[in-house]
Amino acid sequence: MEKVLIISSNKQKMRDIQEYLQGSYRVQTLPLLNSSIYSEVTGGIPDCIIVIVETLTRTKLFGMMDFREQEDIMDVPLLLIADDEDEMVFRQNVHPGLDAVLRSDASMMDIRLSVERLCATSATIHHVLIVDDDPVSLKLVRSYLDETYRVNCVKSGMLALKFLEKQKPDLILLDCYMPEMNGAQTLQAIRAIPRLKGTPVVFLTGNSDREMVMSCLSLHPSGFLVKPVKKEDLLAKIKEVI
């Protein structure tokens, strides 16, 4: 069942929407005036976020600004319920922006239809996690994928494991040679998580260390590409394994 996160300072409005959507969605509610929204998200990353705002100021959005900038939140579809002025304040301060907007007097049916559309959009876009300590390579690979896939990036194996506590991507692109926790060690840790055992992993490497390469290949990844990888080769490999 898909998850909807509702964020607002209007408790009654949140409760009304929660009651209307429950049964069709898993629903969590959180207060808008909260500096640590992200840490209070439970039950996995939402498929859709509804934010309800009234008499908005920049100060009221500090927690939301930080929340929306989190790597695994920025691509989640967001529905804003607000009047014209509050929408403008929200757009000026919260980035990435909005996927849909409804006015404050929108009916429950309008809200439900928007949620259905946004969840469907989220479900049809494949999710790719890139794990690479090289910022240049990270930026390049992401630029190849942004138009077609939902992409998140992390710079180490440990950060990848933290990300995967809440997310289940459709594919992981994993650098072989990283400090502290290399690609082979990261993949072994990923496969120790039952719900991720079937997630395809493609190694990327610019390192010619034969021992490291053989260590990665011994884990039978879904693919292996040499950096700098060509865009057409990367897209072809992803299409093959997803």
pLDDT given at position 170 = 92
pLDDT given at position 95 = 85
pLDDT given at position 112 = 97
Largest CA distance in the chain: 64
Written as one letter, the residue type at 210 is: R
Higher confidence at residue 7 or residue 35? Answer: 7
Confidence category of residue 231, pLDDT binned at 50, 70, 90: very high
Q: Are residues 203 and 217 in the same domain?
A: yes
Q: Are residues 7 and 118 in the same domain?
A: yes
Question: Where a domain ends, among 97, 124, 151?
Answer: 124
Alpha-carbon distances, residue 150 vs 26, 71, 103, 153, 195 (angstroms): 22, 11, 28, 10, 20
pLDDT given at position 99 = 86
Evaluate whether 203 touches 225 at the Cβ level (below 8 Å).
Answer: yes
Q: Are residues 22 and 100 in the same domain?
A: yes
Q: What's the mean pLDDT when you consider all of the chain?
A: 91
Confidence category of residue 166, pLDDT binned at 50, 70, 90: confident
Q: Are residues 86 and 140 in the same domain?
A: no
Q: Are residues 99 and 120 in the same domain?
A: yes
Higher confidence at residue 235 or residue 123? Answer: 235
- By three-state DSSP, how is residue 87 classified? helix
Confidence category of residue 149, pLDDT binned at 50, 70, 90: confident
* Dist CA 54 CA 241 (whole Å): 46
Q: Are residues 151 and 76 in the same domain?
A: no
Query: How many domains are contained in the chain?
Result: 2
Evaluate whether 61 touches 81 at the Cβ level (below 8 Å).
Answer: no
Confidence category of residue 154, pLDDT binned at 50, 70, 90: very high
Q: In the numeric block, which tokens belong to residue 134?
A: 């090289």
Other C-beta atoms closer than 10 Å to the C-beta of 145 total 20
Question: Where a domain ends, among 124, 159, 192?
Answer: 124
Other C-beta atoms closer than 10 Å to the C-beta of 96 total 12
Q: Are residues 30 and 131 in the same domain?
A: no
Nearest to 196 by CA among 158, 218, 224, 164: 164
* pLDDT over 90 (residue 161): yes
Question: Where a domain ends, among 124, 155, 178?
Answer: 124
Confidence category of residue 177, pLDDT binned at 50, 70, 90: confident
Nearest to 172 by CA among 109, 212, 129, 113: 129
Q: Are residues 99 and 199 in the same domain?
A: no
* Dist CA 218 CA 220 (whole Å): 5
Identify the domain containing residue 45 by its residue range. Answer: 3-124
* pLDDT over 80 (residue 208): no
Q: Are residues 77 and 148 in the same domain?
A: no
Instruction: Tell me which H or E stretch contains 173.
Output: strand 171-175
Confidence category of residue 150, pLDDT binned at 50, 70, 90: confident
Evaluate whether 177 touches 209 at the Cβ level (below 8 Å).
Answer: yes
Nearest to 176 by CA among 229, 238, 231: 229
Confidence category of residue 189, pLDDT binned at 50, 70, 90: very high
CATH code assigned at 25: 3.40.50.2300
**Lowest model confidence (mean pLDDT) among 11-15, 125-129, 192-196, 208-212:** 208-212
Q: Are residues 15 and 54 in the same domain?
A: yes
* pLDDT over 70 (residue 209): no
Q: Are residues 104 and 163 in the same domain?
A: no
Residue 199, burial from CB neighbour count under 10 angstroms (0-12, 13-18, 19+): middle
What average pLDDT does range 53-78 have in this prediction? Answer: 91
What average pLDDT does range 163-170 have in this prediction? Answer: 87
* Dist CA 238 CA 207 (whole Å): 21
Q: Are residues 167 and 70 in the same domain?
A: no
* Dist CA 152 CA 52 (whole Å): 26
* pLDDT over 80 (residue 213): no
Can the peptide bond before residue 169 be classed as cis, meaning omega within 30 degrees of 0?
no
pTM here? 0.61
